[in-house]
Each structure stands twice: as C-alpha cells, then as structure tokens.
Amino acid sequence: MSKIETSLHSPARRSWVRWTLAGVVGVAAAAAGLSWRLRHENGSPLALPLPADPASAEFWQMRFARTDGSELEMSTLRGRPLLLNFWGTWCPPCVTEMPELDRFAQTYGSQGWQVLGLAVDNPGAVRAHLAKSPVSYLIALAGFEGSTLSRRLGNEQGGLPFTVMFNPGGNIVQRKAGATDLAELSRWVRGT
C-alpha cells in the first residue's frame, strides 16, 4: 500500500470524515426543523415579516371608490393592523371565505384590526352581492386593475382570493393566495 493510500485509510482520517458527515447531517436536520416550525407554528411558509417594498408604500397612497359612492383613502387606515382581501363576486372561494373574514373583523376589531375587501369586479355586481350577503368590514372597489395591484403586493399567480396582512407600520407580514379562514388568520395575528 502506498503512503497516500495509507493516510486515506488511517484512523484519524476516518474519524475526521465521520465528524464532518455528522456536522453536515446536523445542519441539514436543524434547517429542516426550522422550516417545519415556520410553516406549522405560524400557519404559513410566509410567516416571517417581509421587507418593506415600494409596492407597499405606493398602496398606502392610493384611493378607492366605495360602494356608497364615497372615497376611501388608504392613508386613513395606516397606523393600525390591516387585513386586506382581494376578491370578486364571480370567484366562488372568495364568496365562501367572506363570512370567515367577517368573523375575523368582529373578533379582532376590538383589538385594533381593520379588514378591507378590495373587489376586483364591477360596482353593480359588488353592490348586488352585498345586498344579498352583507358584511361588517369595509369594502372598496379596485376594479379589474385590482389584479395588477395584487400582483405588485406579491400575488405571483394573480388568482383570487388573495389576502395580505399589514402591521401597524404598514409593512406586509403575511400573504396568501387562496381561501383562508378564521383559524388561520388567528394564527397570523398571534405571529405578528
């Protein structure tokens, strides 16, 4: 056996390889555990606060028509936590989750939470829907441009419903494409 082959098979070399492999396995296990914890403890893979971005800042400067003809200035909602939901009357999951959002508004409103439903729809359809199924939270009209806004706020697929949670500072702390419910939203609140 050559001198090189002997050094590769030496007890010291084998020990070093074992410790290195154990370290790699340990780091991988810790990373997997942290990932699992973030996904399951907070209810979403996006539980970590997301950095402020220009789209968030722009959002707080916007104005939207309300169903009663008045105007909603987003700056008036800043300073308190906000749950923003993009929805449409033509979207079955959106309509199904509206009672859950209403329960959230009623449950957490006394703790300072605000809820805003931005309709990606035409005003007539929204008014007709709300006449049949009223909600206690704010509704405003984003029109079909609302899908562009939702994309700028992180809705990569552009589908509805899409929900965004802002902290009192106006920064996004959660977002989700697809329907949500009171239990999931409550986990989000506990995580903020």
- Examine the pLDDT at 176 and tell me if it is beyond 50: yes
Tens-digit pLDDT profile for residues 87-127? 999 999 999 999 999 999 999 999 999 999 999 999 999 99
Contact at 8 Å (CB) between 141 and 163?
A: no
Q: Report residue 152 CA to chain centroid gap.
A: 13
Residue-range domain boundaries for the chain: 3-41, 54-191
d(CA 33, CA 68): 50
Q: Identify the architecture of domain 54-191 in CATH.
A: 3-Layer(aba) Sandwich (3.40)
What does the block give as tokens for 133? 């199924």
Q: How far apart are the first and last CA of the chain?
A: 63
- What is the model's pTM? 0.73
Instruction: State residue 38's pLDDT score.
Output: 40
Q: What is the DSSP secondary structure assignment for residue 76, as one 8-state letter?
A: G
